[in-house]
Amino acid sequence: MDRLAGQIGGTASHGRLHPMGEPFDRRIIEVGDGHQIHVEQSGNPDGVPVIVLHGGPGGGCSPYMRRFFDPAHYRAILFDQRGCGRSRPHASVEANTTAHLVADIEILRHQLGVGRAILFGGSWGATLALTYAQTHPEVPMALVLRGIFLGSRAELDWFYGGGAARFFPDRWAEFQAPIPEAERGDMIAAYHRRLFGGEQGQEMRYALPWLIWENALAGLEIAAAGHAPPAYARAFARLENHYFANNCFLEDGQLLRDRHRIEHIPAVIVQGRYDMVCPPGSAWQLAAGWDKADLRLVPASGHALSEPRIATELVRAMDGLRAS
């Protein structure tokens, strides 16, 4: 989940978001299975590494993501996950699972000569950060997570099974409209049939309502995007639907069950109080009993990275870690 990664206009507790700057390194890394991932590094080449995990799945990275990290202190590493952004092949779901993405982070880390690192991710990026950390608990120095999504069946049912629709009946009706009434009992499956029909024109037509439904709920003060580049929308919708149709390639409850593997790692969890995409219950469950977790429930805020209070709190978290 989480497509809205750009258009950040908020201010941080110590002033505005950090200057964007230009990457000091851009490269393509071969990760196997015919996939190539696009990687960029910005900030201080000798600084503390931060591996940035974007949302979606399929959202890709935005240049604005660089602005959460003090460029004098951090070495920010952004990459587009398999099948999206500038990674290739575009919109491909072949050999594209959570386990593949975890393995890609290891390939990237070794190729860039990165040892321990901070993991920074929101929404699906938080899911991936938690999965990676539980697989490689020796690597993360800290976790900075936003808009917690645990990849559970209950969370998917909330968003695609009518839960969130009780708050947005008009948007839900628009999301359902392209689907025949007989198929509306399982919206993920109904869209899956159309997003993987083999005809790109049809796939693009169904990608946009998938994208608009999520965007409509992403922020309290952010208008839903009524359009997006067709290729982007197709990649985002296909990848996200592919993961959700397969329960994110996780066992239900896995990330809570295996939390004991990462309880030695400090974590800051930034959660919008009124997040309708990933409601705060998941963040509360994740943090409960985790002594090193600092849960920050942000008032008057929803899901999007671009919301001013969310952005402020994330910068505060990263600035705070400079002294640790």
Which of the residues are catalytic? 123, 275, 303
Q: CA-CA distance, 119 to 32, in Å (whole number)?
A: 23
The alpha carbon torsion through 39, 80, 150, 152 (nearest 10 deg) reads -140
- DSSP for 65-109 reads GGGGS-TTTEEEEEEPPTTSTT-BSTT--TT-SHHHHHHHHHHHH
The answer to whether 160 and 172 are in contact (CB under 8 A) is: no
Where does 219-307 have alpha helices with state H?
230-245, 254-257, 281-287
Cis ω on the peptide bond leading into residue 57 (within 30° of 0)?
yes
Task: Tell me the two tokens of residue 68.
Answer: 């959460």
